[in-house]
Amino acid sequence: MIEFNRVKKVYPNGTVALEDISFEVGDGEFVFIVGASGAGKSTMAKLLLREEKVTSGHLTVGQMHLDNMPDRVVPYYRRKIGMVFQDFRLFPNKTVYENVAFAMQCIGEPKKNIRRRVPSLLEVVGLEDKLKSFPDELSGGEQQRVALARAIANNPDMIIADEPTGNIDPQKSMEIMNLLVKINSVHKKTVLVVTHEKTLVDYFKKRVITISDGRVVGDHRGGMYG
């Protein structure tokens, strides 16, 4: 359960990114977050990752109150979130296999578990035959699939994807969205997808939260874009 309760975010330079945001997302839900550029969508993702702190209001994820979470707890909290970015953010000098394995290594997963789990993760995203490729040998869509495999590697409760199809050919965007839907339905993860892809949002008929100027201006189940 994610709960934004009258969240306001003002950046140190005075920019008001979020004015007054309130909504809830239940466990296992799939939500599209849409809105114009600069509306505050990425800021919401940063707050959820505790990369930024709320200026006022409350943000709760599960039992965790992010407003007063001590810094030393943050890494452990983040292990429960799989983050996917528009620009993939893979490790350029690691292979596909190593990229996923490293996510597990980072949190101290034993080698044995890593060896067992990485191939099945890459199977989920359909890249089992590209284990040894480096990111720059892959298409944008393939790189994003590696990022998805990495996002679920540590078995998080929630996936946050910030414009995951922004750098991908339109034909391949559908694949990525389908994977996110599959991760939601098969792997029972809460999934938040920030996107501009009207066609896709309309196609999937999921919950759509619309943000404008730091406020929620629409929240529709089985919704359409805008």
Partner 1 sequence: MRSYSITYFIAEALKGLWRNGVMSLASIAVLVSCLIVLGAFSSLVANINYNLDEIGAVNQIVAFIDPDTSDEDILALRDSIAAMDNVSAVRYISREEAYQSEKEKYSEYPELFAKLEGDNPYTASLVITFADIDRLVNLEQALGEEESIYKVSKRTDIAATIESFKQTVILIATWFMILLLVVSVFVIINTIKLAVFSRRQEISIMRYIGATSGFIMVPFIIEGVIIGLLSGGAAYGIIRAAYGYAARSVSEQLSFLSVMPFDSIGWYLLGAFLGIGLLCGVVGSLISMRRYLDA
Ligand X SMILES: Nc1ncnc2c1ncn2[C@@H]1O[C@H](COP(=O)(O)OP(=O)(O)O)[C@@H](O)[C@H]1O
Query: Which positions touch partner 1 (CB under 8 A)?
Result: 49, 71, 75-79, 81, 83, 89, 91, 103, 105-111, 150, 154
Is 50 among the residues that bind ligand X (CB under 6 A)?
no
- DSSP letter at 59 equals E
Is 130 among the residues that bind ligand X (CB under 6 A)?
no
Is 37 among the residues that bind ligand X (CB under 6 A)?
yes
Instruction: Find the shortest distance in angstroms from Cβ 56 to Mg ion.
Output: 22
Q: How far apart are CA 140 and CA 23, in angstroms?
A: 33
Question: Residue 11 or 76: which CB sits closer to partner 1?
Answer: 76
Q: What is the DSSP track for 48-72?
A: HTTSS--SEEEEEETTEEGGG--GG
Handedness of CA 200, 43, 81, 127 (dihedral sign): positive
Q: How far apart are CA 210 and CA 133, in angstroms?
A: 38
Question: Residue 138 or 200: which CB sits closer to partner 1?
Answer: 138
Question: Residue 69 or 174: which CB sits closer to partner 1?
Answer: 69
Name the burial class of residue 143, with classes exposed (0-12), middle (13-18) and buried (19+) by CB atoms within 10 angstroms of its CB. Answer: buried
Can you give the length of the chain in residues? 226
Instruction: Find the shortest distance in angstroms from Cβ 12 to ligand X.
Output: 7
Is 43 among the residues that bind ligand X (CB under 6 A)?
yes
Q: How far apart are CA 158 and CA 125, in angstroms?
A: 17
Instruction: Find the shortest distance in angstroms from Cβ 41 to Mg ion.
Output: 5
Question: Residue 42 or 210: which CB sits closer to Mg ion?
Answer: 42
Q: Which residue has the tokens 């501009």?
A: 196
Instruction: Find the shortest distance in angstroms from Cβ 128 to partner 1.
Output: 22
The C-alpha angle 144, 150, 156, rounded to 5 degrees, equals: 120
Instruction: Find the shortest distance in angstroms from Cβ 18 to ligand X.
Output: 8
- Identify residue 85 by its one-letter amino acid code: F
Question: Residue 81 or 122: which CB sits closer to ligand X?
Answer: 81
| Residues of this chain that bind ligand X (CB under 6 A) | 11, 13, 15, 17, 35, 37-43
**Contact positions vs Mg ion (CB under 5 A):** 42
